[in-house]
Amino acid sequence: MGRIVEVAHQRRRFGYRRIHDLLRGEFPGTNHKKVYRLYREQNLTVRRRGKKRRCGQRQPLVAP
C-alpha cells in the first residue's frame, strides 16, 4: 500500500490503472481490483486539467 501512495504522489496524473501497470513489474501477483480498493481508501485522485478559456471576442462571420 505504501508503494501505491508513493507512486501516486510522484505521478499525480496516474490513475489506479497506470499505477497497477507500474506495480506489475515489481509485484507480479498484483490485482487491479486490489489496487483500486487501496487507491480509494487513501482518497487518492487524479489531478484534473482545467478548462481552456477562449481568447478574444465572438463576432459574426461576414458574408462575401
* Cβ neighbours for 57, distance < 8 A, ≥ 6 positions apart: none
Distances (CA, A) of 3 to 37, 42, 64: 14, 12, 63
17 part of a folded domain: yes
Question: How far is C-alpha 38 from the chain's CA centre?
Answer: 15
11 part of a folded domain: yes
Q: Look at the chain and report how many structural domains it folds into.
A: 1
* Cβ neighbours for 16, distance < 8 A, ≥ 6 positions apart: 32, 35, 36, 39, 44
pLDDT over 70 (residue 1)? no
pLDDT of residue 56: 82
Residue 46 vs residue 59, higher pLDDT: 59
Global pTM? 0.63
How far, in Å, CA of 16 to CA of 24, rounded? Answer: 12
51 part of a folded domain: no
62 part of a folded domain: no
Per-residue pLDDT, averaged over 43-53, amounts to: 81
Taking only the tens place, the pLDDT of each residue in 11-47 is 788 888 888 888 888 888 888 888 888 888 888 877 7
Domain residues for the domain of 6 are: 2-41
